[in-house]
């Protein structure tokens, strides 16, 4: 039972973070998915959007946070 507490706390914090993200998602900055380098193709009957630079920035931030927690 000693090793069960920490994973439960981490899962709880992740659930809270996801809940906050879903609650405040409409209030996120509009530039977040429209950075230079994000791919957006719009045709007559087709649209494709791939926010590659946004994904890279979010990945870098999450990697930094995880690195700080592991220290």
Per-residue pLDDT tens over the stretch 25-68:
777 777 777 889 899 999 999 999 999 998 999 899 989 988 88
Report the half-sphere exposure of 43 (CA within 13 A, side-chain side): 3
> Three-state SS for 50?
strand
Contact yes or no for 40/24 (Cβ under 8 A): no
From the number of C-beta atoms within 10 Å of its C-beta (0-12, 13-18, 19+), residue 38 rates as middle
DSSP code, position 36:
T
Categorize the per-residue pLDDT at 1 as very low, low, confident or very high, splitting at 50, 70 and 90. low
Q: What pLDDT score does 8 carry?
A: 85
- Residue 9 pLDDT greater than 70, yes or no: yes
Q: What pLDDT score does 11 carry?
A: 86
CA 53 to chain CA mean position, Å:
12
Is the full-model pTM beyond 0.75? Answer: no
């Amino acid at each position: 039972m000693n090793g069960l507490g920490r994973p439960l706390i981490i899962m709880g914090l992740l659930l809270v973070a996801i809940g906050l993200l879903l609650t405040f998602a409409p209030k996120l900055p509009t530039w977040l998915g429209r950075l230079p380098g994000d791919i957006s193709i719009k045709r007559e009957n087709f649209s494709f959007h791939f926010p590659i630079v946004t994904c890279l920035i979010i990945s870098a931030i999450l990697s930094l946070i995880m690195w700080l927690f592991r220290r």
